[in-house]
Structure 1
């Protein structure tokens, strides 16, 4: 029985999170960098499910795909699932300026993992992370949102937090915990 999960992502931190989550289990997580079609939807679940279904059929193996949205409360949830594009359009300082006169600086990350076997419909695992938007953008490397998003329990933006601390933070999140429990209970279904 092959207990290999293919994680379709080009993001090494996401892959390290999955590897850490399944360390010391009988699941082997492999990374595959593959461009998947990304549908336009207000739902991160729909985006992840579509990509997972497409990838699993393309390589004829079970895959996981993740997607997330960053919802800035003071901006009615903008940019939501369109964070990839907002990171291209806005600088970190633009994000800070968008909320400079707002009292509520809450950001909610809606995280989604879609698991798909090529012969089955995708399954979705979701979770949330809370945090706030920084008053001043970081100058360290990272995406625009990584330079301004301060996760709950931290005092600095993601781009200022050591990678190992962020891998630990993400790997203890809801979706990886839920997915790990599911997979380990259903390992014969891989």
Structure 2
């Protein structure tokens, strides 16, 4: 098993989460920013698997790729795995307006990590983060969803929480923990 892993992401926070997860292990993580094709699917697992398969073949190395979907219960799971695009189209205020007359403000983030060697099928790890939608958007910088998603255990949206706290929160999530256990047993 490889001791060096390539994490295909342009998101520095995601990479910092992975670094924190693998602290004090022999695993070395390298970040590689490449645009992977993102298929249209209602399944974050299918999106992550496709991207991991593609990236591992392009780089001819084992890679990890993550994808997430934001499922707002009162909106029948909208926007789901399409959050990347919806974040480009909707402001935080647009999300708040969609929820104007809704009592259920629960949001579930379905998180997925796909680990893939070239010419092999990806191995998938999934997890869920729970939270709620804020009554009003944060005034801080951040994506639309970062300005309105309050993770379980917090009183403020992601964009109001110090980055170090969020890195610690995300690094304790299911997918990184499951993947760490897997990779350390198979190295």
Q: TM-score range by the shorter chain?
A: over 0.9
State how far apart, in whole Å, the 2-side matches of 1:46 and 1:119 are.
17
State how far apart, in whole Å, the 2-side matches of 1:120 and 1:54 are.
11
Tell me how many residue pairs correspond in the alignment.
187
State how far apart, in whole Å, the 2-side matches of 1:169 and 1:54 are.
29
Matched with 2:120 is 120
State how far apart, in whole Å, the 2-side matches of 1:29 and 1:179 are.
13
Instruction: Name the SS of the counterpart of 2:36 in structure 1.
Output: coil
1:1-45 Cα shifts (integer Å, max 9, x gaps): 851000000000000000000010010011000000000000000
State how far apart, in whole Å, the 2-side matches of 1:88 and 1:117 are.
32
1:31-73 Cα shifts (integer Å, max 9, x gaps): 0000000000000000000000000000100000000000000
State how far apart, in whole Å, the 2-side matches of 1:43 and 1:156 are.
28
Instruction: Name the SS of the counterpart of 2:170 in structure 1.
Output: helix
Matched with 2:58 is 58
State how far apart, in whole Å, the 1-side matches of 2:50 and 2:2 are.
24
Matched with 1:8 is 8
1:82-120 Cα shifts (integer Å, max 9, x gaps): 001110111001101111111100000000000001132
Matched with 1:153 is 153
Runs (5+) with no aligned partner, structure 1: none
TM-score by length of 1: 0.97
Instruction: Name the SS of the counterpart of 2:56 in structure 1.
Output: helix
Matched with 1:42 is 42
State how far apart, in whole Å, the 2-side matches of 1:149 and 1:26 are.
34
State how far apart, in whole Å, the 2-side matches of 1:2 and 1:106 are.
39
CA RMSD of aligned residues (A): 0.8
Matched with 2:24 is 24
Moved over 2 A (4+): none
Matched with 2:96 is 96
TM-score by length of 2: 0.99
Deviation at 1:139, TM superposition (A): 1.0
Q: How does 1:166-181 map to 2 (within 5 A)?
A: 166-181=166-181
State how far apart, in whole Å, the 2-side matches of 1:116 and 1:142 are.
30
